[in-house]
Chains A and B, each alone.
Chain A
Amino acid sequence: MTRSHRLPYGGRVDRSAPLRFTFDGVEYTGLRGDTLASALLANGVLDVAPSLYGRRPRGIATAGVEEPNALVQVDGPCSEPMRLATTVELYEGLAATGLCGLGRLDPTPDETVHDKMHIHTDVLVVGAGPAGLGAALTAGRSGARVVLVDDQPEPGGSLLAGRESIDGRPALDWVADARTELATQTDTRILTRSTAIGYHDHNYLLVAEHRTDHLGPHPVPGISRRRLWHIRARRVVLATGAHERPMVFAGNDLPGVMSAAAVRAYVNRYAVLPGRRAVVLTTNDHAYATALDLVAAGAQVAALVDTRPKPPADLVDRARGAGIEVVTGSAVVGTRCGTAVPPGDGGARIAAVRIAALDAEDAISGPIREVACDLLAVSGGWSPAVHLWSQSQGTTRYEDEQAAFVPAQAAQDVVSAGSARGVLDLAGCLGDGFAAGAAAAALAGFPAAAAPPPPCSGDRPPARPRPVWIVPGETGGPADWHDHYVDLQRDATVADVQRAIRAGMRSVEHIKRYTTIGTAHDQGKASGVSATGVIARLLGARSPGDVGTTTYRGPYVPTSFALLAGRERGALFDPVRTTSVQPWHVDHGAVFENVGQWKRPRYYPRPGESMAAAVERECRAAREGVAVMDAGTLGKIDVIGPDAGEFLNRVYTNAFAKLAVGSARYGVMCRADGMVLDDGVTLRLADDHFITTTTTGNAAAVLDWLEEWLQTEWPELRVRLTSVTEQWATVAVVGPRSRGVVAALAPDLDVSNDAFPFMTARRTRLASGVEARICRISFSGELAFEINVASWYGLATWESVIRAGEPLDITPYGTETMHVLRAEKGYPIIGQDTDGTVTPQDLGMEWIVSQRKQFIGRRSFRRADTARGDRRQLVGLLPVDPAVLLPEGAQLVADAEVSPPAKALGHVTSSYRSAALGRTFALALVTGGRNRLGETVYAPLPGGVIAATITDAVLYDPKGTRRDG
């Protein structure tokens, strides 16, 4: 393939490094230093993919992140959609295809590594153009820690695309010196290929660094592909530059219509001539440089069309001196499409523009003239890149002099510098950057000597632009202008905006959503302010400032989820907590379930055994023989101090102050609104020492809750709280034959019911020599012992329990069996059978609510809503067909024949098959449930209606005859 449009000299490309690549299956050659877009242009390829809705041909329109058109999917082990050809660096073997607005998610797992770094800095400078480099230099000289981030492979910013001079030398020589100096500063870090994507509270910024993408799609050993930097900065300097705006005129979307600044970048930075016969259309001074650079590169500039009746004379003279016809007070009012020149290079592209004079009201005021061209370089003015500024909650204001929204009031410790705040000439940007860097360092505590910026040439402060927000069509009115494109990626036109306004919309936010303007991948980076201008014109507003902009949201550029996830995926997604007994569970084939971050054995299937069969076997062992469970995940909190009893008295609904040392008591705690927060057994180990247990998944929240009351309401109480969940291993030995097992384990302990009654605890030394605390606590209704040892001895103690129980066929059981056993007894699980709207009374636990003392939430039980009799109450449910299992969460209604809308009576909270009952059963919260015992309720489900009878919640051993063995 020909590299027909590559200039023979110049540019930041390496002519000794040709790179082969394919686009849409066709092979081409580019150079190191190219982007995919510049390499395509060098090969005469302009149109990347048709537009999303209208299927109109669309070409590369810009040279950066603001690109609205050139979306590609980049091949690789896991291909990546929605990349921009203008930001993809070329590498050997790159293969990409054009996308018309929609990418394809590759289902292949992405094997490349993404990671994160967290750093603090005194001064963060975003953007390494003239202002950013100046800011970093002066800040770095002060000794402050400085981080300079820039999205390009090398610093320089706009200087990479220009031909200006600094200090009497080419500007890029100054850039090289600046980089060298920054590299010698010990506390300055330069991140290239790094885009600041988010500006969050308190100067917290996210920066996406592409570390290996320029080398190819494959993992590079020892280096992550991309890295997300989390940067906390004392001061931030935003030197993010400005985006050149497109203009809105008929046929402004043809391939070959390109940003004038982009044309200049392709010529100077990439040594590519995007067209041979160009027309330049501008509202401001900047495009004159593009025209002159095109001529210097050997292209013909057929006309330079300036909307201003009187552009600066020196610029006009220079252009005319270069042989360019300058047409003032005019605009391009239409384009004509042709095929590419030479033929065969691709599809449609611009062939001619139609030029006409505009009067002061922007109306066409003269004859129309057609000028042939294959490139139209457009400068609709400059919009400071205020995206990060706005994300930081800084305000913007519209500046008529510049026809731009510029930063106004800062909300954080940040300044904008250079063209990011509307300073558009090189000397101004350098001076602004030097001053901003010194000021930022000083405010961060590093006074810096103010150095004057170096002198520069080739640029000067621009004259006032003349924005023309809508170049009128040759016929009709705005409602007819269906090819005046406002947002190229969304195919949204002036006619669409007019339709939105006729539908009654006035707010820019409403019009955005109605027309979808600014909602594509580019978020209207280049076109957003143009859209505001169009809306202002159509509304008859005085200025775009009266309309405003839509909200700028992060991320600034599309960001992959793989980068956001970093290494926190798969096994590292969330910390995994296991007890000391875990190796035994794994060795014995336990099936695990997640309870919060804990891995808990759910059941222990024998080879070939189903879950239902395993759970039934485990339940039978607990009810008829002896079974053992790892209860080490239960939350445990040491409550220590002279006022510990008083503290617990205020927290729990029942009394603890007079609990005897060595005894245990079940307690329920409520929030101030009277709803159940947690439950558990508390043990008194000494006068001033309690150990309280919490629900497994609720331990941290309960500790927080206790600390809150202790510190903020009752600081006079002498109590300390310590989480000891991880310090103790707990083995529950359960069942009518458990006493013999414990006797064998603890030979010094009298385990008889008289000597060791229910809800007491004993300290003893096990036969193994391990110190243990054994409690008689039951969560199954059976005789049961909980053996607590230091976690170090958890596994050994568990194994000794298994050995001691072997003659009795001791059976390990998991959480599923635990749930069945407790549900048979009507014991609720807080968080499963309750949902934050359930009182102790709703659970049938009036007995646990003290009438004689104050506690958190007590007053709420007298509120009308908590005292009413038709609250949802916990009851048992027996399906009429004893083989049918109600699904948990099923809604319950009063009638078998139900048609929506029907009032729900309640819902199923727990549902199991019971070996002991020989049938299925469930727990449910039912409106006025305890007055409905014996009534039938219905669960309408997709497979049919399940009928069930309401019963008391306690279905097994209601008299409690089994707990003492």
Chain B
Amino acid sequence: MLLIACPWCGERDELEFHYGGQAHVAHPADPEALSDGEWAEYLFVRDNPKGPFAERWSHAAGCRRWFSVVRHTVTHRILAVQSNHPTAADGTKPVTA
């Protein structure tokens, strides 16, 4: 069971969180301008790397905040945690993967 450092609540068991898939996949600003292929890319296509992976988690059974994590998909080691919210606790590091 992963131990995830929620930017607001600190380290908690994975049980308290919901997984949100790959991070930094923004909803297209103007979906209507996209081709079917481009829209399908947004809907269905995600990275699946062996190694560091930026992904989203929500502290569903806690503060309900969404944040990003860089996790190594082989060792599950968490390399960075970042909130995109200005009021997050200090000490969160920028997410790069």
Contacts and interface: CB of A to CB of B under 8 A. Distances in A.
A863 B66 contact: no
Contact of A411 (B20, B42, B75): B75
Contacts, number: 67
A308 B45 CA distance: 60
B26 A713 contact: yes
A200 B39 contact: no
Interface in A343-378: none
B1 A708 contact: no
A712 B66 contact: yes
A204 B3 CA distance: 9
Given A708-B20, A860-B43, A202 B76 contact: yes
A393 B72 CA distance: 13
A696 interface: no
B1 A704 contact: no
A703 B60 CA distance: 9
Contacts of A711: 65-66, 84-85
B90 interface: no
Interface in A182-203: 200-203
Nearest to A392: B75
Contact of B43 (A202, A203, A673): A673
Nearest to A230: B1
B64 A713 contact: no
B87 to A, nearest CB: 11
Interface string A73-108: 000000000000000000000000000000000000
Interface string A113-127: 000000000000000
A854 B30 CA distance: 9
B89 interface: no
A859 B31 contact: yes
Nearest to A723: B64
Given A393-B74, A412-B75, A201 B2 contact: yes
B32 interface: yes
A232 B44 CA distance: 36
A393 B20 CA distance: 24
Given A201-B1, A393-B74, A704-B58, A715 B31 contact: no
B24 to A, nearest CB: 10
B36 interface: yes
Interface in A707-734: 707-708, 711-713, 715
A683 to B, nearest CB: 23
A204 B75 contact: no
A120 to B, nearest CB: 9
Contacts of A201: 1-2, 14, 76
A707 B40 contact: no
B66 A860 contact: no
B58 A707 contact: yes
Interface residues of B, number: 31
Contact of A715 (B2, B13, B26, B84): B84
Contact of A863 (B14, B36, B75, B85): B36
B31 A707 contact: no
A902 interface: no
A200 B13 CA distance: 12
Nearest to A714: B27
Nearest to B28: A859
A26 interface: no
Interface in B48-97: 56, 58, 60, 64-66, 74-78, 84-85
B34 interface: yes
Interface in B10-30: 13-14, 18, 20, 26-27
B3 A232 contact: yes
Contact of A202 (B2, B44, B66, B74): B2
Interface string A680-722: 0000000000000000000010011001100111010000000
A202 B66 CA distance: 21
A639 to B, nearest CB: 14
B75 A393 contact: yes
A788 to B, nearest CB: 24
Given A704-B60, A711-B85, A712-B56, A202 B27 contact: no
A737 interface: no
B10 to A, nearest CB: 12
A708 B36 contact: no
A704 B65 contact: no
A863 B1 CA distance: 39
Nearest to B83: A711
B7 to A, nearest CB: 12
Interface string A657-692: 000000000000000110000000000000000000
Nearest to A202: B3
Contacts of A704: 18, 58, 60, 64
A571 interface: no
A319 B36 CA distance: 82
Interface string A57-77: 000000000000000000000
A708 B43 contact: no
Contacts of A715: 84-85
B58 to A, nearest CB: 6
Contacts of B43: 672-673, 860
Contacts of A412: 75, 77
Contacts of B65: 711
Contacts of A712: 20, 56, 66, 84
B27 A708 contact: no
Nearest to B27: A713
B58 A708 contact: yes
Interface in A848-904: 854, 858-860, 862-864
B31 A858 contact: yes
A859 B1 contact: no
Given A711-B66, A858-B31, A864 B36 contact: yes
A728 to B, nearest CB: 20
Given A712-B66, A713-B26, A860 B39 contact: yes
Contacts of B36: 862-864
A712 B32 CA distance: 21
B1 A707 contact: no
Which residue among A201, A232, A412, A715 has the maximum number of chain B CB atoms within 10 Å of its CB?
A: A201
Contact of B1 (A204, A672, A860): A204
A708 B66 CA distance: 7
B11 to A, nearest CB: 9
Closest 5 pairs (CB-CB, A-B): A859-B31, A202-B3, A711-B66, A201-B76, A411-B75
Interface of A: 200-204, 232, 393, 411-412, 672-673, 700, 703-704, 707-708, 711-713, 715, 854, 858-860, 862-864
Given A393-B74, A713-B26, 20 more contacts: A202-B3, A204-B3, A232-B3, A393-B76, A411-B75, A411-B77, A412-B77, A672-B42, A672-B43, A673-B43, A704-B60, A704-B64, A708-B20, A715-B84, A715-B85, A860-B39, A860-B43, A863-B36, A863-B39, A864-B36
18 contacts: A201-B2, A232-B3, A232-B13, A411-B74, A412-B75, A412-B77, A672-B27, A673-B44, A700-B60, A704-B18, A704-B58, A707-B64, A707-B66, A712-B56, A713-B26, A713-B27, A854-B31, A858-B32
